[in-house]
Amino acid sequence: MKKITILLMMFSFISFFFISNSIADEFDFRLSTNKNALDSEMNGLFNISNTVVMPGISVVYDNDDYKILFLKALITNEVFIDGLTGGLGFKGAWGRAEKSDINGDVLNLGFMCYASYDLSKTDLNHYPVILSSSLCFSPEPLSFVDTKEFIEILAECSWKILDQASLVLNYRYIGIDFTNSRKWRKSDSTGYIGLKFSF
């Protein structure tokens, strides 16, 4: 299963790289890890007038606890003040989660909200830091197979150390309710460190 997951990650990112590189205005790739988990993401950015459309793909692999592939589509705009960006969209998840002697399939489509604050576009422009967070929630009507409800909370701080590279600290909370053989819940809260590259 681990080999299949790694091959799926490689295929997904290579495919997304070539698609984004050919048609996107910009794209970024992040790889983060901790002692138990791997978290990777790639986003394409399409500038349309004053709006940025952001499709993305990500994978999280946490030993034998869960393996989830995410696809998202966001529309973002700068709002209220310089450097503050807000976004709304959808995010889907597909994978598998385990807990003790039980496991379940994850499949859902969630509503997503996103916010980021770029300090380099403010009076603190000598700090090349971007703070961002997102929330994805999938209620029961948009959750399928074994999944009853899904919630994901992300937070990220990226420090630009080179023109096209940043050091990243990120946090992820996942909570999934299942209703297969019995009602049970899988939740996880963990932090990561990694690098992000923008092109």
- Are the C-beta atoms of residues 92 and 111 closer than 8 Å to each other? no
Helix (H) or strand (E) segment spanning residue 187:
strand 183-198
- 21 phi/psi in degrees, rounded to 5: -65, -30
Cα dihedral 29→79→136→33 (10° resolution): 30
- How far apart, in whole angstroms, are the C-alpha atoms of residue 17 and residue 68? 20
Q: pLDDT tens-digit profile of 37-92?
A: 999 999 988 888 888 889 999 999 987 788 999 999 999 999 988 899 999 999 99
Domain that holds residue 125: 2-198
Residue with tokens 């969209």: 89
What does each C-alpha distance from 74 to 84, 126, 136, 157, 176 come to in angstroms? 16, 29, 12, 19, 22
pLDDT more than 70, % of the chain:
88
Residue with tokens 């003790």: 100
pLDDT band, residue 4 (cuts 50/70/90): very low
| CATH assignment of the domain containing 106 | 2.40.128
**Does residue 190 have a pLDDT over 70?**
yes
- Mean per-residue pLDDT for 104-132? 93
**Does residue 24 have a pLDDT over 70?**
no
- How far apart, in whole angstroms, are the C-alpha atoms of residue 103 and residue 42? 28
What is the number of domains present in the chain?
1
